Amino acid sequence: MREKRGYNMNIKEVEKVTGLTKANIRFYEEEGLVCPKRNEQNNYRIYTEVEIKRLQEVKKLRLLGISIPEIQKIYAEELSLQKAMERRLKEIREEERLLQETRAICQKAIRANWNLNEIDRLEIKESKEEWQERLRKLMTEDLVQTKLTRNELNNTIGLLFSAGMLISMLTVYFMNVTWIKEYMYIGVAAIGVEVAFLIISAMSSDIKVHMGILFAGAIAQPVALTAVMGFVMELIHDSRKSHTAYMKMEYHYIIGLYVLTLLLGILLWLGSKVWKMALQSLAVTLLIGIIGVGVLTGGFYVSYRGLLGMQGSLIFAAGALVYVVTVLGVWQHANSDWKAYNRYHGVYTAGQMVNVFATIMSAVGYNSWRNWRR
């Protein structure tokens, strides 16, 4: 198909031109193979001839069987195309040898006219390294690449998100808030760890890496959140009031925020089983978030009126609303294009929800709510 020379293209046009799916294009962006700019008026991605050419090149390299990591090295000039082709030829020779063995086994089964009950008579040398490697790849593909129904996708996200939030709450319960206050560099380091997790998750397509980031982030996030809340407390702190009382309020606020987000997430998750719009409409996410945050803030205002005040209540409410709507908005976004998702994206989405800094940073630059459904 002929390209639109000299025009900026949206992702639907790029799909038609390149023959790649939206999910593939997004994946190549996450892997750093293409870096489209955004339209200043609507903040949508725009693809120029440079990005189109790069996507066409990547498609051809993938058709030849060149791996994503090797393609990245080629564009980073860490690996020459010739060297990559030589490696691929070596792999092809090994694949051909394994295919020849496979063909011989299949031919033997055909000649012997075996049925399913005689399948155990096939002489496959499963202990050989080549067969073990092939089995490992096939098993991984079966688990990761399998397309999920909307219900299966939400079950994957819901279970992992719930597990991550419970780990975060346990971390808050056992951690020493006073210690973090006295040694603020611990909290700052935790924020750095969270940002590092965000960068690693954007660069990796390994589902095991994302699982590790999800649970490690669930531990690091409360420490980072405590450090952030420490700065907030300085804004509302009254020197005439007990410092210990403020620390107790901060502790209860973080726990309350986690409990609220988890309960609202479970509510939307269960609600989606009877009404699919529960996790597809941003309006529903906003409404549920506003109601939940209103209840949480009201409870804190009544319980800590002597410490919180109206200004503190508004600050608490704003922070909670940003957190809740951002976290649940990521889940809603996953459902807006659920056909493009598999188990890998389910794990990736849950990881973004658990890592509050990842979710907020992923929303930076979005100047309208509709872009959450881009």
Least reliable range by pLDDT among 22-26, 66-70, 257-261, 295-299: 22-26
When pLDDT is averaged across residues 116-145 and rounded to a whole number, the result is 67
- Residue 213: pLDDT over 50: yes
Report the amino acid identity of residue 241: K
Which of the given ranges, 19-23, 83-87, 251-255, 335-339, has the highest pLDDT on average?
83-87
Burial class (CB in 10 A: 0-12, 13-18, 19+), 247: middle
Q: What is the signed CA dihedral for 165, 166, 171, 174, rounded to 10 degrees?
A: 150
Distance CA 329, CA 368 (A): 13
Residue 160 pLDDT greater than 70, yes or no: yes
The pLDDT score that the predictor gives to residue 157 is: 93
What's residue 209's pLDDT? 83
The tokens for 121 are: 């008579």
Considering the four listed CATH numbers 1.10.150.120, 3.30.70.360, 3.90.1150.10, 1.10.1660.10, the one that applies to the domain covering 11-75 is 1.10.1660.10
Q: Strand runs (DSSP E) across the chain, as ranges?
A: 37-38, 45-46
Q: H helices of the chain, where?
A: 11-18, 22-30, 49-63, 68-75, 81-112, 129-144, 150-174, 177-182, 184-203, 207-236, 243-272, 282-303, 305-336, 343-354, 356-362
Residue 146: what pLDDT? 59
| Measured distance CA(176)–CA(193) in Å, rounded | 19
Task: Specify the pLDDT at position 365.
Answer: 36
Name the pLDDT band for 364 (thresholds 50, 70, 90).
very low
Which stretch of 101-105, 197-201, 234-238, 286-290 has the lowest confidence by average pLDDT? 234-238
Q: Among all chains, which residue has been given the structure tokens 């994503």? A: 68
**If you write DSSP's letter for every residue of 293-315 in order, what string do you get?**
HHHHHHHHHHHTHHHHHHHHHHH
In angstroms, how far is the first alpha carbon of the chain from the final one? 25
Question: What ranges do the domains of the chain cover?
Answer: 11-75, 81-143, 148-373
Contact 153, 335 (CB under 8 A): yes
Of the listed ranges 58-67, 176-185, 306-315, 360-369, the one predicted with least confidence: 360-369
Residue 178: per-residue pLDDT: 65
- The residues near 225 (Cβ < 8 Å, ≥ 6 apart) are 254, 356
| pLDDT confidence tier of residue 257, bands split at 50, 70 and 90 | very high
Mean pLDDT of the chain: 80
Residue the block writes with tokens 């649970």: 215
Rg, C-alpha atoms of the chain: 26
